[in-house]
């Protein structure tokens, strides 16, 4: 897509105030937000999406849409997904823990947490039956829960506080080690367990100079090579009134934290190389790479939208269809170059589900509008997809732009420009 001149962009920005709301009924520019694959089944992949979820069952060759309405999470954006080897998909939305037992066609909220808000979900690196969930509802006592049967039942651990629990992480190289972050106002909490959550150590935090007023502590990652190395993020106010997002690193199991990256672009997530020597930090607009002993540097791509996930020696990153024509790409050289895998214009319709399932019944009527907004053709409704879990062959190629969608590209750009303006003001979006 050719970008307009500066003068045209200014005009479009003015027009966008009136048009963006009608183009994006759910608000904001449509983008991918996270990447997940099914353990042991790399052909099964899932993308968090601002209008629900996108699922591929053939190694990213074809992607289909699961609408947010069928998932039932409303305005709450899933924090992360876990796709278990047996086929079940779980996600923590910030409000509920959702589960699909039929490959994404039907989603049900867990009743184990009652009025608690499920803020974070983490899985054991090798034991598929062991999962952890943290709750994070303000002004109530929150807990960390553990499941030993793949999320079928949940039991609270001994850790509970009158604070918002923001993230739980399991150390990949020593899964008996757990970390949990939280906050209450300007009080920051970091907890550590060395026995898989049976007992906990409270790690009081003394933040680096300049971050005394930091808030919103959240764990980002634990090194795959060393359980004592972890990363977290905090937010703070700049002298000009903006928001500074700072990545902190600990090399002593969370007892002390050191600033390693600070910038004003809201953080999305991060990942770490298998040897722990290279890290990638994704923000709304950039992907940063930091090698051991070196400062973080922004990579040339993606721009406008980023998320990052490492699987083996391959990086997967979100990108912006509206800026560089791809919404998912992979890299085998640590992010120096990227192979595009998917553009939002290539969505092939609603996820293929049996008649009577929520996705089939609720998403199908919504697809023509979304297809027009994305600039893809509207295919006829697929036949009955059979029973849940049954393998369905991919639909044939043929997703070109419709004649009625050609004028949407400038409006999408308008929405992007407006969103970037809001980012400059330091207004974070939910993740």
4 CB-contact burial (10 Å; exposed 0-12 / middle 13-18 / buried 19+): middle
CA distances to 60, 67, 88, 259, 363 from 351, in Å: 14, 9, 16, 43, 9
The pair of three-digit structure tokens given for residue 195, joined into one six-digit string: 């026995």
pLDDT range class, residue 192, cuts 50, 70, 90? very high
Q: In what order do the strands lie in the sheet with 64-67?
A: 32-38, 41-49, 52-56, 64-67
By three-state DSSP, how is residue 295 classified?
coil
**pLDDT on residue 29:** 80
**pLDDT on residue 185:** 86
What is the C-alpha separation between 56 and 314, in angstroms, rounded? 18
Chain position carrying tokens 């990545």: 247
5-15 confidence digits (pLDDT tens): 333 333 333 33
**pLDDT on residue 190:** 96
CA distances to 38, 405, 413, 414 from 18, in Å: 41, 18, 14, 10
Q: 302 and 320 in contact (C-beta within 8 Å)?
A: yes
The pair of three-digit structure tokens given for residue 383, joined into one six-digit string: 């036949």
What is the C-alpha separation between 35 and 45, in angstroms, rounded? 7
**Partners of 135 in beta bridges:** 118
318-372 confidence digits (pLDDT tens): 999 999 999 999 999 999 999 999 999 999 999 999 999 999 999 999 999 999 9
DSSP state of 24: -
pLDDT of residue 402 exceeding 50, the answer is: no
Helix (H) or strand (E) holding 355: none
Radius of gyration of the chain (CA): 21
The pair of three-digit structure tokens given for residue 352, joined into one six-digit string: 């293929």
What's the chain's average pLDDT? 84
196-237 confidence digits (pLDDT tens): 999 999 998 777 777 878 899 999 999 999 999 999 999 999
116-137 confidence digits (pLDDT tens): 999 999 999 999 999 999 999 9
The pair of three-digit structure tokens given for residue 29, joined into one six-digit string: 């520019």
**pLDDT on residue 28:** 61
What is the C-alpha separation between 417 and 415, in angstroms, rounded? 5
- Count CB atoms within 10 A of the CB of residue 53: 28
pTM exceeding the 0.85 threshold for the entire prediction: no
pLDDT of residue 161 exceeding 80, the answer is: yes
Helix extents (H) in 268-341:
321-324
What is the C-alpha separation between 117 and 105, in angstroms, rounded? 23
What is the C-alpha separation between 137 and 166, in angstroms, rounded? 10
The set of residues, in sequence order, having a beta carbon less than 8 Å from that of 29 and lying 6+ positions away, is 50, 320, 322, 412, 415, 416, 419
In 3D, which of 345, 318, 347, 320 has the Cα closest to residue 331?
318
What is the C-alpha separation between 347 and 376, in angstroms, rounded? 7
The pair of three-digit structure tokens given for residue 329, joined into one six-digit string: 């790409």
The pair of three-digit structure tokens given for residue 32, joined into one six-digit string: 């991918």
Across 371-410, b (16+ Cβ under 10 Å) vs e yields bbbbbbbbeeebeebeebeeebeeeeeebebeeebeebbb
């Amino acid at each position: 897509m050719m970008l307009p001149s500066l003068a045209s962009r200014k005009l479009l920005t003015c027009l966008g105030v009136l048009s963006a709301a009608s183009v994006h009924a759910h608000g904001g520019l449509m983008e991918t937000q996270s990447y997940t694959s099914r353990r042991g089944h790399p052909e099964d992949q899932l993308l968090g999406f601002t209008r629900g979820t996108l699922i591929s069952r053939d190694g990213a060759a074809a992607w289909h849409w699961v609408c947010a309405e069928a998932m039932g999470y409303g305005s709450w954006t899933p924090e992360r997904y876990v796709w278990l080897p047996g086929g079940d998909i779980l996600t923590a939305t910030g409000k509920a823990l959702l589960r699909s037992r039929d490959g994404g066609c039907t989603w049900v909220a867990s009743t184990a947490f009652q009025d608690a808000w499920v803020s974070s979900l983490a899985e054991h690196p090798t034991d598929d039956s062991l999962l952890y969930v943290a709750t994070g509802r303000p002004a109530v006592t929150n807990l960390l829960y553990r499941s030993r049967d793949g999320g079928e039942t949940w039991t609270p651990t001994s850790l509970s506080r009158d604070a918002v629990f923001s993230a739980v992480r399991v150390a990949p190289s020593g899964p008996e080690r757990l970390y949990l972050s939280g906050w209450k106002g300007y009080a920051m909490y970091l907890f550590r367990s060395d026995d898989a959550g049976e007992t906990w150590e409270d790690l009081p935090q003394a933040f680096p100079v300049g971050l005394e007023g930091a808030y919103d502590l959240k764990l980002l990652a634990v090194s795959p090579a060393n359980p004592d190395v972890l990363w977290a993020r905090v937010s703070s106010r700049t002298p000009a009134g903006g928001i500074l997002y700072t990545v902190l690193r600990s090399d002593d199991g969370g007892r002390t934290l050191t600033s390693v990256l600070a910038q004003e672009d809201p953080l999305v997530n991060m990942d770490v190389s298998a040897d722990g020597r290279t890290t990638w930090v994704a923000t709304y607009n950039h992907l940063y790479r930091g090698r051991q002993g070196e400062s973080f540097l922004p990579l040339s791509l993606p721009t406008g939208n980023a998320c990052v996930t490492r699987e083996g020696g391959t990086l997967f990153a979100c990108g912006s269809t509206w800026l560089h024509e791809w919404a998912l790409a992979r890299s085998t050289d640590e992010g120096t170059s990227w192979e595009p895998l998917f553009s939002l214009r290539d969505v092939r319709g609603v996820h293929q589900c049996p008649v009577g399932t929520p996705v089939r019944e609720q998403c199908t009527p919504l697809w023509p509008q979304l297809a027009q907004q994305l600039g893809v053709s509207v295919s006829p409704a697929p036949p009955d997809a059979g029973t849940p879990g049954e393998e369905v062959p991919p639909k044939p190629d043929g997703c070109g732009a419709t004649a009625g969608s050609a004028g949407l590209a400038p409006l999408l750009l308008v929405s992007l420009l407006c969103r970037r303006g809001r980012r400059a003001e330091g207004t974070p979006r939910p993740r």
